[in-house]
Amino acid sequence: MTSSLDALPAPEATEGVDTLIQLLRGRRTVVLTGAGCSTESGIPDYRGPGTRARARNPIQHREYLTRPEVRARYWARSLLGWPRFSSAKPNAAHHALAAMERDGHVPGLITQNVDRLHHAAGSSRVIELHGALARVRCLDCGAQEERRDLQERLLALNPDFEHHVLELRPDGDADLSSEVLGAFRVPVCLRCGGTLKPDVVFFGDNVPAPTVEEAFSLVEEGDALLVVGSSLAIFSGYRFLVRASERRMPIAIVNIGECRGVEMADVRVEARAGDVLPRLAEALG
């Protein structure tokens, strides 16, 4: 599987790395990660280089709740995209962050990603702002189900559907023509027969208040903030940059391409996370 970055030359991970190391050495660094942390694992993003040219319309929260055809489209695409999404493995950036946590340099991290790759790499304190695709919950009774179990039900209801050609998308679904969606059958909650939804925050929805409070508390524990692979285009992540700036915490950003709030950063390294973070972890360790 290829990511949106594979067709683009990667900036050299040299300029600014020494400054980054000096900035974070001896400081407990809270980390905020975005989709750019997972592109090297084969999971594309919505805003990175190479993706803006292609139409990428993420599922909207209100449409999912109110339109059965939107839910059918989501689950049809998810049936096809899930095997490749769920088989993605942590990359060097994920492993480096887990190592820095084990070594005591990172008290925890906040992620905008829904792929659970930080957990797979060994990070133990992970605040998932947007939830995780590994879980599904019922909107009517609140029952939860593992996404891998739902995949079996999706296949049983739609046995011939998995043979369609597709393109993986960032939220675990896949591009699919409308012509093949007419007969798709959507599973319901095993407990009450209600409507199922992936346990993630769709566009247009809000991050639950307890999650936001937990993330702010983590920022308060840190001496510095490191942003990895996020354009900070949406407020759910940007607010933590603002809080760190208000607290006069040193701020570092490792990201390729456009990034909101760079004027608040003390260091900006425009390079792949998988090139930079292992060097940072080795230097700090």
CB burial class (10 A; 0-12, 13-18, 19+) of residue 28? middle
Instruction: Tell me if 262 is assigned to a ligand binding site.
Output: no
- Tell me whether residue 94 is one of the annotated catalytic residues: no
Is 194 annotated among the ligand-binding residues? no
Tell whether 138 is in a known binding site. Answer: yes
37 labelled binding-site residue: no
Query: Count of CB atoms within 10 A of residue 26's CB?
Result: 11
Asked if residue 259 belongs to a known ligand binding site, the reply is no
Residue 230 annotated in ligand binding: yes
User: Is 96 annotated to bind ligand?
Assistant: no
Task: List the catalytic residue out of 95, 105, 118, 130.
Answer: 130
Which residues are paired to 236 by β-bridges? none
Binding site annotation covers 57?
no
d(CA 42, CA 39): 5
Query: Is 206 flagged in the annotation as binding?
Result: no
115 marked among binding-site residues: yes
**Range list of β-strands (E), the chain:** 29-33, 109-111, 126-128, 131-138, 144-146, 196-200, 224-228, 251-254, 267-269
Buried b (16+ CB within 10 A) or exposed e, 178-191: eeeeeebebbebee
Alpha-carbon gap, residue 237 to 3, rounded angstroms: 22
Q: Can you point out the beta strands (E) in 140-195?
A: 144-146
Which residues make up each annotated binding site for NAD(+)? 112-115, 229-231, 255-257, 273
Which residues make up each annotated binding site? 112-115, 138, 141, 189, 192, 229-231, 255-257, 273
Which residues make up each annotated binding site for Zn(2+)? 138, 141, 189, 192
Catalytic residues: 130
